[in-house]
Structure 1
């Protein structure tokens, strides 16, 4: 199941939406900001029932 989440780029401060795949459970990956194109490290948090519980976005440097 994919969910749309809104996050803020840690580099340029712009807000944007991305899709996260809850079927994978807890995950960490890198996605480029669609505004400034810098890499953002995303950490997806899923609770025990498989529901979205949070997304951490940080600099990948």
Structure 2
């Protein structure tokens, strides 16, 4: 099952939409390039097991 969620780039602050594959678990992290400035963001994804609400925090990668 896939859902979408918005995150804000750790570099430029612009919002971007990303796909979240819920079959990968309720805690995920991976790197995705910003759709605006193309810089890499590490996305920390947390999915609430009961409501399936998605929270994404970003961090810069080196």
Q: TM-score range by the shorter chain?
A: 0.7 to 0.9
Q: TM-score, normalised by structure 2?
A: 0.81
Deviation at 1:50, TM superposition (A): 8.1
Structure 2: state its 5+ residue gaps.
none
Task: Mark the runs of 5 or more structure 1 residues left unpaired by the alignment.
Answer: none
| Residues 13-24 of structure 1 aligned to structure 2 (within 5 Å) | 13-24=13-24
Cα pair distance change 1:8/1:24, threshold 3 Å: same
Aligned length, in residue pairs: 61
Q: TM-score, with normalisation over the residues of structure 1?
A: 0.82
